[in-house]
Each structure stands twice: as C-alpha cells, then as structure tokens.
Amino acid sequence: MSFRKIGPFQVAPIGLGCMNLSHAYGQPPAFPDAKALLERALDLGVTLFDTAALYGFGANETLVGEVLTAHRDRFVLASKCGMTGVNGQRVIDGRPATLKATCDAALKRLQTEVIDLYYLHRWDKTVPIEDSVGALAELVQAGKIRAIGLSEVSAATLRRAHAVHPIAALQTEYSLWTRNPEIAVLDACRELGTAFVAFSPVARGFLTDRVLDVANFDPKDIRRAMPRFTPSHYAANRQLLPAVRTVADEVGGTIAQVALAWLLQRGEHILPIPGTTSLAHLEENMHALDLHLSVAQMQHLETAVNAHTVVGTRYNSATQTEIDTEEF
C-alpha cells in the first residue's frame, strides 16, 4: 500500500471517519459491532481514524479510546474541537479557553497522552481565526497535540491560520457531487503543503449501489435537513448514477469504489475518510485502492456529476451560515 503525507505523518490513502458509529444517521450500532468495525479497519490497513468531541457529544471519542487504546502505536488519531454538545445542544465556540478545555476532556475520553491531529471543527466567526489557531498552537507547545487542522474553511481563512501556525490538514466535504473545494481550497492546500481530508466522499450514501429510502430516514438522521435528500431532489439526482455505473462496470468495481478512486486520483494530497457501520462496506471502500481510472473515465465522471448537474444545495440556509467554504 502506498502512503500519503498529513503533517508529520505518513498514512494509508483511505482513512476511517468514525462519526457514523455514534452520531448523525440514526440509531448507532451496538458496542460489540462498533468495536468489530474499528478493529477490522486496523486489520485492513487503515492508519487514520477521525473522530470529534461533537460526535455523540463525547461518546465517539470514548468509543475510539476504549477500543483502540491498546493499538495506539498503529494509527494516527485525529479529533476536533470548537463544536461540541452543551446541555444537549450543538454549540460552536472557538474561544481559546474552550478549545483547551475541550482538548483536556478529549484526552481523557480517548485514553491517550497526545492527539496526533486536532482540528478546529468549525471556525467561530465571533473569534478571530488567529486567536483560535493560536490556542491550538499552545496545545502543540504543551505536548497535548502534535498537528493542527481546520474544517470547512475557505482558502483565505486557511492562509490566515497558516500564518500563525502550520496547518497540517484541511477537512471539508468533497466528492463527485460536492465540488466546492475545486474553487480555491485544493490549490491552496497544495501550495501550503496542507493535506486535504475529504469527508463524505461517497456523498452520505448517495454514491453507492444502495437506493436510499429518503422518505423514511430515521428522525435523527441529519440528511433530513439537507436539500439534496428531499424526495424530489433525490429522485432527480438518482438520474446521474447510471453514468457512474458505466465506469464502475468498465473497471470491475462498485459505484462507491469509483467515487473513492476518483478522489484519490484528483491529487496526491487528498485523503478520503469514508464512514460506515457495515463491515462489508468497510472492505468495499478499502478495495477502491485496487482501481485505476483512465483520463477518459475521469472526464466522463466529472461531466456527468458536478455542481451544474446536481439538484439541491449541500446544506440548508441555517447550516450554511456556520461554515466558511467557498460556494458556487
């Protein structure tokens, strides 16, 4: 397996987003099933595990810590601060004291002395990015974290942050149907030596061989609030998948594998972190490393699925105000 650079670390090209095991898409799996998935990911060669204080309001960090602490020397541990659960509500708070307190709590939940990569989960726009990153830089100096990341920020904000302390990774949604990073952030990351970590690389389940029953999503499924998953928009977007299926058939893979292979070939600094609760889907995702797409196949995919052909915005208007990414 080849490796890719993220800050001072070398990791496998595909990591694991751990959010699904505790948060966001309805009832999470039971502990034995979540434990089996995390351990299987290690066995398959995953070396980047991504969690956050927000996920399950601490439950995901606790899960990752309990299951993986015995294997701590085998992987790069990433977590996030700046967006947490407070009294049952999601709160964005980038004040330095809050970030430091969140880190201390995370270290206990994760059962580790240091977090390898610590992201600012959201930029709190009431706090200068320089102040929030300055607090994270102090955590580096204190030996509590090794590298700093940002999530859902623009190229301009990345540059401001990087002037305070090197930014090892920038994490944002990126897939065939979410192409916003191509506006400016991908190039800025390449220029600054910042890894680009692509979350939701199979489009929250859209870019798979499964037909999602969007009308019957769990009441707590966050996709209920996402315009692309309203029944009418989802039905229209489904019409884009045959073009992806054509490429999948040509290379002997699945739609999800093609979506991941496309990302991997978009740049050596790109690392997708698909999440799943299924062992079968975990193994399917990792086998995307076996695929290679031709230039013609890459172009075919990009022409079929892009910002002009996808119906619906990525987030609703309320959530959109919370992020700092460039938009088409």
Output the pTM of the full model. Answer: 0.98
Q: For residue 77, what is the DSSP state?
A: E
Which residues, 6+ apart, have CB-to-CB distance to 36 below 8 Å? 279
Residue 214 has a pLDDT of 96
How does pLDDT run across 306-325, given as a tens digit for each residue?
Answer: 999 999 999 999 999 999 99
Give the model's confidence band at 125: pLDDT under 50 very low, under 70 low, under 90 confident, else very high. Answer: very high
Residue 14 burial by Cβ neighbours in a 10 Å radius (0-12, 13-18, 19+): buried
* Amino acid letter for position 314: R
**Percent of the chain topping pLDDT 90:** 99
State residue 322 phi and psi, 5-degree precision.
-90, -10
Q: Is the separation of the CB atoms in 117 and 76 below 8 Å?
A: yes
Give the model's confidence band at 173: pLDDT under 50 very low, under 70 low, under 90 confident, else very high. Answer: very high
Does the pLDDT value for residue 1 go beyond 80?
no
Report the candidate in 55, 218, 234 with the shortest Cα–Cα distance to residue 151.
55
Residue 284 has a pLDDT of 98
- In the chain, what are the domains? 4-206+263-291 (3.20.20.100)
What ranges in 50-184 are assigned the alpha helix state H?
59-68, 96-110, 129-141, 155-164
Residue 307 has a pLDDT of 96
Residue 138 has a pLDDT of 98
Distance of CA 84 to the CA centre of its chain: 16
Beta strands 48-50; 76-81: pairing state? parallel
How does pLDDT run across 245-270, given as a tens digit for each residue?
Answer: 999 999 999 999 999 999 999 999 99
Structure tokens at 245: 């299926």
Residue 115 has a pLDDT of 98
How does pLDDT run across 22-40, given as a tens digit for each residue?
Answer: 999 999 999 999 999 999 9
User: What's the farthest any 2 CA atoms get from each other in the chain?
Assistant: 53
Q: Is the separation of the CB atoms in 162 and 194 below 8 Å?
A: yes
How far, in Å, CA of 307 to CA of 126, rounded? Answer: 30
How does pLDDT run across 42-68, given as a tens digit for each residue?
Answer: 999 999 999 999 999 999 999 999 999
Average pLDDT estimate for 123-141: 98
How does pLDDT run across 54-104, given as a tens digit for each residue?
Answer: 999 999 999 999 999 999 999 999 999 999 999 989 999 999 999 999 999
Tell me the average pLDDT of the chain. 97
How does pLDDT run across 193-248, given as a tens digit for each residue?
Answer: 999 999 999 999 999 999 999 999 999 999 999 999 999 999 999 999 999 999 99
Annotation says 55 is catalytic: yes
Among candidate residues 25, 55, 118, 119, the one labeled active-site is: 55
